[in-house]
Amino acid sequence: MAAERSWVPGAEGSGFGIENLPYGVVRPRGGGPPRVAVRISEFALDLAALGLRPGVFDQGSLNAFLRLGRSVWSETRARLREIVSIDSEPVGRALLPLSEVKTLLPIEIGDYVDFYSSLEHATTVGRMFRPEDPLPPAWRHLPIAYHGRSGTVCVSGTPIRRPCGQRAPGTADGTPSFGPEPWLDFELELGFVTGSGSSVGSGADAAAEDVIFGFVLVNDWSARQIQAWEYQPLGPFLSKSFATSISPWIVPLEALAPMRVPGVTRDPEPLPYLRVDRPWALDVELSVGLIPDRTEVETVVTKVNARGLYWNAAQQLAHATMNGASVRAGDLFASGTISGFEPGTQGCLLERSAAVTLDDGSERRFLEDGDAVVMRGVAGAVSFGEVLGRVLPAEC
């Protein structure tokens, strides 16, 4: 086993040390094709430059690598840990300062599925519409989900245009309103990216260990008035399809091993295909910050731990495939909004009972033009980095 220290400057204690080594795709700002890299400290280690696996890392996405499966992922990770270990000769030529590269969307996403796996989120939102009976009848029996738009998933840093759309009629003649969405919201989520592998017949635990490559932060931008008007009976469509942001560095499942914990007890006990024996809850501290463009001062508005999710990734994957549906390398499965009940733990603005006061004294019921939303995640020595997006004014 490689030493737990690296020759890369600043690696230790950065959240991007030898314990993490998350995968992404970068393009040198000076020019040249994109390539696969792992982040370490404030550098992107260029895997194409290292000469590892020709045809796999000299690519504009991780999909070729994702298709190779668990044993190659493990081998590669072990090799990379050796390469960056304090016991090895430094390979400076493959180390690109992050300031000199642009991080790209790391995967070509096949299908994007979004779950609804936080009991607190589903309960709070449900109470707004059905006070007596907030949870849908199936909620405690299966991880509810829907398909989102994969073509509009974008990488952190991409500006987010406020969408235009129809809203419920405000006038007596019943004509719907039309214009910029006034209730633009974020949703704090964790997502997992799949590789190849079989998810049938082997049970939820084994299938998930086989298929799940790693995790990212997800901001599932949401237009609440469009959503309220359009969502019956087939679910959200335009209220979500304009943009979904993900963090650029995919944290491998193996890096999260020390942060996997048993999680909540489900009551009632789910059906056998949803039972798991291994710990799948992730002890990840998540936060959301708002940064108005006038001040550029960040106010942290949400802090919540992902371990409180009712349904975990193994259950989500087992459910999504138990009808025989296939999973492709590069599919993205997001958790749904991660929330607690305590004030300041809500993963979206909709759930809050009152406006948030920012450090510059201004208040937010929903997002304003120019606001940047930054989500962060830390699991012990492993950082997820951040997913950031700034709201641009609507064009309509």
**Known catalytic residue: 121?**
yes
In sequence order, the β-bridge partners of residue 16 are 382
* Sole binder of its own copies in the list 149, 266, 364, 365 (CB under 8 A): 149
CB of 236 or CB of 252, closer to its own copies: 236
Name the one range near its own copies by CB under 8 A: 51-59, 175-183, 338-346, 376-384: 175-183
Q: 287: which 2 tokens?
A: 């936060």
What's the alpha-carbon Rg for the chain, to the nearest Å?
Answer: 21
The only residue of 41, 59, 63, 150 in contact with its own copies, by rule CB under 8 A: 150
Q: Which one among 36, 37, 190, 226 touches its own copies, defined by CB under 8 A?
A: 226
User: Is 191 among the residues that bind its own copies (CB under 8 A)?
Assistant: no
- Cβ 321 to its own copies shortest distance, Å: 9
Q: Where are the beta strands (DSSP E) in 220-340?
A: 222-223, 244-246, 251-252, 260-261, 281-282, 285-291, 299-305, 332-334
DSSP string, 149-201: -GGGEEETT--EEPPEEEE---STT-PPEEEE-S-EE--EEEEEEE-S---SS
236 interacts with its own copies by CB under 8 A: yes
Read out DSSP for 202-255?
A: S-HHHHHHHHEEEEEEEE--EEHHHHHHH-TTT--SHHHHT-EEE-SSBEEGGG
Tell whether residue 213 is a contact of its own copies (CB under 8 A).
no
Name residue 161's beta-bridge partners: 392
d(C-alpha 310, C-alpha 119), whole Å: 6
Query: Judged by CB under 8 A, how many residues of this single chain contact its own copies?
Result: 58
Binding mask 104-143 for its own copies (x = CB under 8 A): ------xx-x--x-------------------xxx--xx-
- Return the range that interacts with its own copies (CB under 8 A); candidates 183-191, 230-238, 340-348, 363-371: 230-238
Binding segment for its own copies (CB under 8 A), chosen from 76-84, 89-97, 165-173, 309-317, is: 165-173
| Interatomic CA distance for residues 23 and 36, integer angstroms | 7
Residues 247-276 contacting its own copies, CB under 8 A: 268, 271, 273
- Can you give the binding site for its own copies, defined by CB under 8 A? 110-111, 113, 116, 136-138, 141-142, 144-152, 161, 163-166, 168, 174-176, 178, 223, 226, 229-239, 241-243, 268, 271, 273, 319-320, 322-328, 331, 395
The residues that are catalytic are: 121
